Amino acid sequence: MTKLANAQDTFQVLQKYHFSIQKKYGQNFLIDTRVLDKIMEAAQITEDDFVIEIGPGLGTMTQRLCECAREVVAIEIDAALIPVLSDTLSSYNNVTIIHADVLKTDLKQLIDERNGGNPAKIVANLPYYITTPIIMNLFESHIPIDSVTVMVQKEVAERMQVGPGTKDYGALSLAVQYYARPQIVANVPPNCFVPRPKVGSAVVNLKVFDSPPVRVQDEEHMFRLIRASFNQRRKTLVNGLNNFRELPHTKEEVAKVLSDMGLAETIRGETLTLEQFAELSNRLLTLN
């Protein structure tokens, strides 16, 4: 078994299996031990933990996880990587490799069967093109999770933790901050990967709340409001919600609720806090 963590070992494994990098899967393999250390420190994996790794790639991070966790399940979408993982992880008896698309995998059932329904820890190096769908699926499915530690595009990581009034503030910011406390723990330059991505990356730790920081009568309704308000950022909140077919509220109803909240009718969604979106949602629901 080859211990992976640097460029030389990574190239050896790629050559051994004549592996071709698949752009469609957004494959960039980590080759920096310092970054690995930071991910492990942020994830705080202990010998009691059940860990799900999304996109293990060659098994670089998986090897480290196996050395610290009670059990690891590695979910990999690329069939060509399964024999590679079987090799690089052959020395560990506490890992299961699953060839699957994580968005089509029943993670709740997996956690129920392998961890008695207790919260799992998620670790992932996510392809940039599918970062948001995977993170939102993890949260919206309400599976038991303690934390999510992910490598993502730097711009996306920054978007997760910004507040109202900034250009990066949007639906992802609000969704992440509703479910978890985001913290960027490391910035990762392109030279830490093979092949080098064109943009910088960041490791972000999302510590999942036991309960959300705001009270909402209907989560789906609030997130429809949020999506509608950022769907057309330049429009006022009243017009943005009126143009969104999934919402039944009239412009007059929205304007009245905003007035009752002490907010101007001309306000834009990008200036509202999570607390204000929650209040707006709750007040609008009482009208119907």
Report pTM.
0.90
The two tokens of residue 150 are: 């992910």
**pLDDT score at 16:** 76
Which residue is it, tokens 């640097």?
Answer: 6
What stretches in the chain show pLDDT beneath 50? none
Domain spans of the chain? 7-208, 219-286
- Cβ atoms of 158 and 168 within 8 Å: the answer is yes
3-class state of residue 206 by DSSP: strand
What is the predicted pLDDT for the residue at 246? 82
pLDDT in the model for residue 51: 98
Class of domain 219-286: mainly alpha
- Backbone φ and ψ for 202, nearest 5 degrees, come out as -150, 150
Q: Render the burial of 186-209: b for 16+ CB within 10 Å, e for the rest.
A: bebeeebbbeebeeebbbbbbbbe
Task: Give the pLDDT confidence score for residue 188 in this predicted structure.
Answer: 94
pLDDT at 240: 86
Task: Give φ, ψ of 194 to 5 degrees.
Answer: -125, 120
Question: In CATH terms, is domain 7-208 a member of 3.90.1150.10?
Answer: no
